[in-house]
Amino acid sequence: MVDLNKMVRENVLKLTPYSCARDEFNGKTGVFMDANENPYGKLNRYPDPYQRELKNAISKVKGIEEEKIFLGNGSDEIIDLCFRVFCNPGVDKALTFTPTYGMYQVSASVNNIEVVKIPLTDSFQIDLKKADPFFSNKNIKLIFICSPNNPTANSMNYPDVKYIITKFNGIVILDEAYIDFSEKPSFIKMVDKHPNLIVMQTFSKAFGLASVRVGMAFSNPAVIKYFNKLKPPYNISAINQKAAILKLGQTEQYKSQVLRIKKERERLSLILSKMRLVENVYPSDANFLLVKVKNADYIYNALVDKNIIIRNRSSMVENCLRITIGKKSENDQLIMALKFISI
């Protein structure tokens, strides 16, 4: 069993967090003369630092208690907090399965943490044999698992993820940014059983609020407490909290958009797989496709010339392009443009 207090950095354990006016009094009515706000206007007051109304709405949708939810300025803030809570700069390490989402490495570098990278297998699964010896390495504090994975689009095998959560004595961060596009189950309910598990989701993908910057972490209340200790007091603006609350009320819109994206994913995948330029379209549990082509650099540039912007992921997977599923009309534009590219 993981002892969380032993995992947390000494300075974080000792830290006295900033106490803001809304920490001392959080009632909604009264004459507020405690936070040096301007008394005029509609956006003049500081937002709720713990985003209680939004967490209450998330708790109902996700079926998890509010005290097990943390909200960050995008998942990226949560990734950074994981390093700051658990890793001593220059000493501790993190482990990732590559290729994967780039922010784990960037955040690690910002915090002066070395990343051990275990390449995924040919079918983009976790290579447990190679990874296993690292699970008992005392300096490895964090393991990031991205499932469905960016950029490979597939989900990691459920038993493999479960094995790592059980076997590893550090913190496992399971990034489920794309879970809504997958038929596979989320690990969110497992946080009750595993105190070392942090499941991340986001409002940026299926909820369509990338510009709003709200990322979610689900974990046991002790981990959430440390995140709250370290975060800037007002990390989610009142406008952004409102936007996320509103979105959670639009269930039908959310469902129909996810369905449309999944249908377009299948249609685009089928059409692309028959194209002369395409060598393979990998199976996708996400809102994008990883496509192996004959000459990725050439096709990428040819599409840019036609004002169609995709992602060239050749540096991660040889000759591979990552294509986000657009609206039907946008996907048709891409298909048409590809038809006119000759290599």
Residue 86 binds ligand PLP (CB under 6 A): no
Q: Considering only residues 144-163, where is the footprint of ligand PLP by CB under 6 A?
A: 146, 150
Q: Which residues contact 99 (CB under 8 A, 6 or more apart)?
A: 120, 149, 151, 152, 313, 316, 317
In sequence order, what are the residues at sequence separation of 6 or more whose Cβ sits closer than 8 angstroms to the Cβ of residue 303? 309, 310, 334, 337, 338, 341
The Cα–Cα gap between 243 and 153 comes to 28
User: What residue number has its CB nearest to ligand PLP?
Assistant: 74
String of contacts with ligand PLP for each residue 169-188, x by CB under 6 A: ------x-x-----------
42 three-state secondary structure: coil
Window of 73-81, 82-90, 113-121, 219-227 that interacts with ligand PLP by CB under 6 A: 73-81
Stretch that binds ligand PLP, among 31-39, 74-82, 311-319, 334-342 (CB under 6 A): 74-82
Least separation in angstroms between residue 101's CB and ligand PLP is 4
In this chain, which of 51, 154, 196, 202 binds ligand PLP, going by CB under 6 A? 202
Of the candidates 176, 114, 188, the one whose C-alpha atom is nearest the C-alpha of residue 150 is: 176
Nearest CB to ligand PLP, comparing residues 202 and 284: 202
Report d(CA 26, CA 35) in Å as an integer: 12
Site for ligand PLP in 89-108 (CB under 6 A): 101
Q: Is 217 in the site for ligand PLP (CB under 6 A)?
A: no
Residue 133 in tokens: 């010896």
Q: What are phi and psi of 125, to 5 degrees?
A: -105, 165
- Output 210 or 239, the one with its CB closest to ligand PLP: 210
Residues contacting 253, CB < 8 A, separation 6+: none
Q: Which residues bind ligand PLP (CB under 6 A)?
A: 74-76, 101, 146, 150, 175, 177, 202, 204, 210, 215
